[in-house]
Structure 1
């Protein structure tokens, strides 16, 4: 069936309809894409849709009887590709309800049984992916292998296509607005303006060192999906599936595009001032400590560690010390900043610095956070359509110019507070670039709203180092020893 009514549809590419793939339009729908969580969609359909689907989900020859991928489509464009099983359909007297799950959930079939003393995260993710028992996800890729900005530029070209803006509309007419001053930094590709985000150098380097670092791994009879998400939580890595059904490992910002939203400019996206709620904490994060493996713990470090870390010719030699990775921001006042801790990782010495850096960056992304509601019906497409927004993108929020006597690209940033009455009525947000951590589309009939979860876009210097904790120390101030104390010249980094 090919439904002609409604802009949003669920499309089953592998099921034949009258005029192409089977496609159905929901009366109501929610599509949620979120960082560090599974994507999902649910829709309410007419009962006739259910009656039409029943024989195809129950009969041996039915085209809907098996698990398959489904596309969530808006005006012909694929917004998300998800996972369908017959169990995800509920047939009611008044409506038919269909759920679509994240394609990563299809990795819940298969068995991972592995114990390694020394394995890279790249090898671990590839091993788990190879243990899947279906091919709903085609491939696995890592974001550290993408040149800076390339994936973002590809996405921008795909979204904007060859359509052009009318002459004279490449830049806003009001050159005194904050929007104009910022838009001047955008790049013209010969059609519309776009701004692919270049990957943060620190984050790109830390991600590569993270996935190529060594760890101990012990998973006993669990599914690939559970194994992958255990690693995600342990090392602050994200995984997601794109519309080509490729599983990506790394950070979504690798394919980011930057967008602009303002409260009163129809050329860009419009946000609803009454629904904006962004929290900016008073005390910043200063740094983070990540615990590694115990150096001489049997069954964790491997034989090369157990034999070498304790020098038997020296009665003061070290054994049973724990390596820790420390990352911090030198530009933050340590007396005011928070020091966080990540416990019980299995990271080896050469990986701890990268684990600490990624953990600190992820913590910063979540510190300044909130929600911004967008109104697609009033939004322009100066930097692309609202439906193009993805997790990992950057969103520049522009405050209303009326609160300031004179404006430039820095007006209204953190520390530049608006009049009290602006805050009281909830009509002001800061002029900052935020990182998109979640996107939720809600559709009811012809009404379409988009809620965007945001955090602060990371733009700061990070330093890191490795230290060693000695539990035998009598005084807390003597608990941390130097690398020279531990190794005493016997080992080099090549040993790890």
Structure 2
């Protein structure tokens, strides 16, 4: 048996070439919060650091990046400010934070004027990234990604120009025919809201009275994007598609991670189905000329007083749950082709929030034949394998999602506590359907009745 130096963790300040080793470390990584590290050092380290942080023009006086180094490899890029150092009589403590928090210290307070997505993000970061805390910005936006945020010049359904108040009669007729064609081709063009490719469009955003971090969150929410930090200090913007690593942990096999104290409590009432209610629509009709004109009029000047109005619904349900809770939410702003994805997202979130727990990993006794415990990341999956004689039915060879990580280093010991959550079954069924409030029946995309309200 070989002894492991599990306390091989250091804090490095790359700008000045300083690397220090802490006594204790509390390092928290969570999918819903910023990364945070608190480390305790000896008094000698504190005496050495104090002139670098207290004196004007000293090396550690300005905010700057800091690296977390595990076994000689940089595992995280964090952010240091001198006011986050506490000097005591026997020890000193240092806090490090997620670099995105640096963006809270700057003010944007303007409207963007016809900029592309990349231009507006770069403008915000270039102005806010004082001291070069963020090591750069990269974009990972799929070419076919679309948004429903209006551009400077709006276009209507199928690219049809929106009509002005003084439109010529011939143009009005052409536009009306185009609308009727859109209704007739309803199943081929399920969304009539204006949409543009995100990477090719120019937008106006009102970012007044916001700091840089709030501005980025505003744009992310509008366009359905995400932003996150890489271990190299790069801010990435896009739709995060990660090749998740699957780790293996056993209660008695030293070749893989060794776990203990697992807690994963299922809810008293499991969730069975999520229904996302979209906007109201009219079933198309093209049998009579007056019906055609009525469809045109309804599309151009929509009303709400219609007997044939239907509600588009995205549905996600678990085939393994026959009796459980049904969650229904309203999202009339979503396009119909996005309802199924939102339903699955809500179902997965409900399962994660209601099937959560923790498990502890012991690095001292863990093996690395499959994966190294030092490389664990939020968003990875963990296969839990209990011993044959272990009575723990809730985790029997279950794969769980890692939603949070907490490293605790104290002297020569290193403990990792993982927040784990149950993930939606890949066999989860999703569908798009239409509900008639008048008849309480459900229809498929061909407007064929599929079942009544009592059968759902």
Which of the numbers 248, 254, 259 marks the counterpart of 1:271? Answer: 259
Q: In structure 1, the residue corresponding to 2:369 is in which secondary structure?
A: coil
Which of the numbers 52, 70, 75 marks the counterpart of 2:71? Answer: 75
Where does residue 13 of structure 2 map in the other structure?
12
Instruction: Classify 1:354/1:429 alpha carbon distance in 2 versus 1 (closer, same or farther; 3 Å).
Output: closer
Whether the 8 Å CA contact 1:439–1:453 is kept in 2: the answer is yes
Task: Give the length in aligned residue pairs.
Answer: 371
C-alpha distance in structure 2 between counterparts of 1:36 and 1:391, whole Å: 10
Deviation at 1:325, TM superposition (A): 6.1
C-alpha distance in structure 2 between counterparts of 1:130 and 1:121, whole Å: 14
Whether the 8 Å CA contact 1:328–1:464 is kept in 2: the answer is yes
Q: In structure 1, the residue corresponding to 2:100 is in which secondary structure?
A: helix
Where does residue 41 of structure 1 map in the other structure?
37
Where does residue 27 of structure 1 map in the other structure?
23
Where does residue 170 of structure 2 map in the other structure?
none
Structure-to-structure mapping, 1:422-461, within 5 angstroms: 422-423=391-392, 429-458=395-424, 459-461=426-428
Q: TM-score, normalization: structure 2?
A: 0.67
Deviation at 1:388, TM superposition (A): 0.6
C-alpha distance in structure 2 between counterparts of 1:308 and 1:334, whole Å: 44
Cα deviation code 1:68-97 (max 9, x no counterpart): 111111221222111101111111122111
C-alpha distance in structure 2 between counterparts of 1:68 and 1:261, whole Å: 37
Q: In structure 1, the residue corresponding to 2:417 is in which secondary structure?
A: strand
Larger Rg belongs to: 2
Whether the 8 Å CA contact 1:288–1:360 is kept in 2: the answer is no
Instruction: Classify 1:261/1:330 alpha carbon distance in 2 versus 1 (closer, same or farther; 3 Å).
Output: closer
C-alpha distance in structure 2 between counterparts of 1:324 and 1:91, whole Å: 61
Answer yes or no: is 1:364 the counterpart of 2:351.
yes
C-alpha distance in structure 2 between counterparts of 1:380 and 1:49, whole Å: 33
Instruction: Classify 1:346/1:30 alpha carbon distance in 2 versus 1 (closer, same or farther; 3 Å).
Output: farther
C-alpha distance in structure 2 between counterparts of 1:291 and 1:117, whole Å: 31
Cα deviation code 1:83-131 (max 9, x no counterpart): 1011111111221110000111112233344669999988876675455
Instruction: Classify 1:40/1:242 alpha carbon distance in 2 versus 1 (closer, same or farther; 3 Å).
Output: same
Whether the 8 Å CA contact 1:468–1:483 is kept in 2: the answer is no
Instruction: Classify 1:316/1:211 alpha carbon distance in 2 versus 1 (closer, same or farther; 3 Å).
Output: closer
Q: In structure 2, the residue corresponding to 1:222 is in which secondary structure?
A: coil
C-alpha distance in structure 1 between counterparts of 2:320 and 2:204, whole Å: 33
Instruction: Classify 1:13/1:329 alpha carbon distance in 2 versus 1 (closer, same or farther; 3 Å).
Output: same
Where does residue 50 of structure 1 map in the other structure?
46
Gaps of 5+ in 2: 144-195, 281-295, 448-456
Which of the numbers 95, 100, 110 marks the counterpart of 2:91? Answer: 95
C-alpha distance in structure 1 between counterparts of 2:50 and 2:380, whole Å: 39
Whether the 8 Å CA contact 2:251–2:386 is kept in 1: the answer is yes
Instruction: Classify 1:482/1:271 alpha carbon distance in 2 versus 1 (closer, same or farther; 3 Å).
Output: closer
Whether the 8 Å CA contact 2:314–2:431 is kept in 1: the answer is yes
Q: In structure 1, the residue corresponding to 2:29 is in which secondary structure?
A: strand
Q: In structure 1, the residue corresponding to 2:47 is in which secondary structure?
A: helix
Deviation at 1:361, TM superposition (A): 3.3
Where does residue 360 of structure 2 map in the other structure?
373
Which deviates more, 44-53 or 232-241? 232-241
Structure-to-structure mapping, 1:237-276, within 5 angstroms: 239-249=227-237, 254-272=242-260, 275-276=261-262
C-alpha distance in structure 1 between counterparts of 2:88 and 2:319, whole Å: 59
CA RMSD for the aligned pairs?
A: 4.5
Cα deviation code 1:188-242 (max 9, x no counterpart): xxxxxxxxxxxxxxxxxxxxx9978999965432112123346668999654311
Gaps of 5+ in 1: 16-20, 147-208, 294-306, 404-421, 470-474, 486-496
Whether the 8 Å CA contact 2:360–2:417 is kept in 1: the answer is yes
Which of the numbers 380, 386, 389 marks the counterpart of 1:399? Answer: 386
Cα deviation code 1:306-356 (max 9, x no counterpart): x997545x88778xx99876341263667623214366x965666555444
Whether the 8 Å CA contact 1:232–1:239 is kept in 2: the answer is yes
C-alpha distance in structure 2 between counterparts of 1:468 and 1:220, whole Å: 41
C-alpha distance in structure 1 between counterparts of 2:199 and 2:395, whole Å: 40
Which of the numbers 122, 133, 144 marks the counterpart of 1:136? Answer: 133
Whether the 8 Å CA contact 2:6–2:363 is kept in 1: the answer is no
